Amino acid sequence: DTGVSQDPRHKITKRGQNVTFRCDPISEHNRLYWYRQTLGQGPEFLTYFQNEAQLEKSRLLSDRFSAERPKGSFSTLEIQRTEQGDSAMYLCASSPRQGTNTEAFFGQGTRLTVV
């Protein structure tokens, strides 16, 4: 499968623990996006990368959240000191070039449950 891959698919963690998610975009896609989706809502933008540069972060992304894309390929999203409100589906998407006349391809997401 050459689509966007996310790992793990599910993560259950205790409140206060740190978690890290990985996203492998479609090969050669320059842009990589992270979104968060809670039940009954559409995905909300968190941050995006153009190659290895993080170009924008949403105000939703508190200081406990950090994202990296060190070599312009895969990306990681880390949440430190998790809270119950962090429970959500975390989606990764990639697109082939900069600009807006392009579509984003989504992974299947990582479902985080904080207990």
Partner 1 sequence: AQSVSQHNHHVILSEAASLELGCNYSYGGTVNLFWYVQYPGQHLQLLLKYFSGDPLVKGIKGFEAEFIKSKFSFNLRKPSVQWSDTAEYFCAVIPRREGGKLIFGQGTELSVKP
Instruction: List residues near partner 1 by CB under 8 A.
Output: 3-4, 31, 33, 35, 40-45, 48, 55-56, 91, 93, 95, 98-109
Q: 15 or 56: whose CB is closer to partner 1? A: 56
When the beta carbons of 11 and 29 are compared against partner 1, the nearer one is: 29
Peptide bond into 70 cis (omega under 30): no
Give min distance, CB of 38 to partner 1, in A: 10
Least Å distance, CB 18 to partner 1, is: 26
Q: Which is nearer to partner 1, 17 or 102 (CB)?
A: 102
Give the chain as a 3 state SS string: CCCCEEECCEEEECCCCCEEEEEECCCCCCEEEEEEECCCCCCEEEEEEECCEEEEECCCCCCCEEEECCCCCCEEEEECCCCHHHCEEEEEEEECCCCCCCCCEECCCEEEEEC
Closest approach of partner 1 to the CB of residue 58, in Å: 8
Give the residue with the Cβ less far from partner 1, 11 or 36.
36
